[in-house]
Amino acid sequence: MSDALNALLDQIGTPAQLRELLAIEGVDDAFLEGFLQQAGAAPALDRIFGVMAERFSPERARGRSGVVQWVVRMPDGDLPYRFAYGSHGATAERGTARRPDVRLTVTAPVLIRLCAGRLNVVRALRERTLRFRGNPLVAARLPRWFDY
């Protein structure tokens, strides 16, 4: 089963493909968490953050650079990711940033919806499914810096 899930995950390379996954009947938060657990949470999130880095648009960020610390809450424990961005593009890797501009904490299903463009950051903040600490402008502007 894990090999089939990893093969499916390897095919996800765009936000549109994440939206297709979310559109499948029966795909809810419990399904997404189970999917990630069975596929291997860290490798699955590596892929999702890789897509995020690939879809970052330096032109949309208008010369801004910085670091976002993501913390993805999983049933077996939190997984931290550093997302560095600038005029060169973006990189994402597992680990903790020394001095991030903002720290964003989410569950995996919320992260997937954000990356797919299916969840508005303001709504997620209001519903407290996305928590942040640090520069509120970075948190608010970040979604606009990607090619969905």
Q: What is the pLDDT of residues 34-45, one digit of tens each?
A: 888 887 889 889
Name the phi and psi angles at 70, rounded to 5. -100, 140
Please indicate whether residue 78 or residue 47 has the higher confidence score (pLDDT).
78
Q: What is the pLDDT of residues 68-105, one digit of tens each?
A: 999 999 988 999 999 999 999 999 999 999 999 999 99
Q: Helices marked H in 15-67 — which ranges?
A: 15-23, 29-39, 41-55, 58-61
What domains can you pick out in the chain, each with its CATH number? 2-145 (3.30.1050.10)
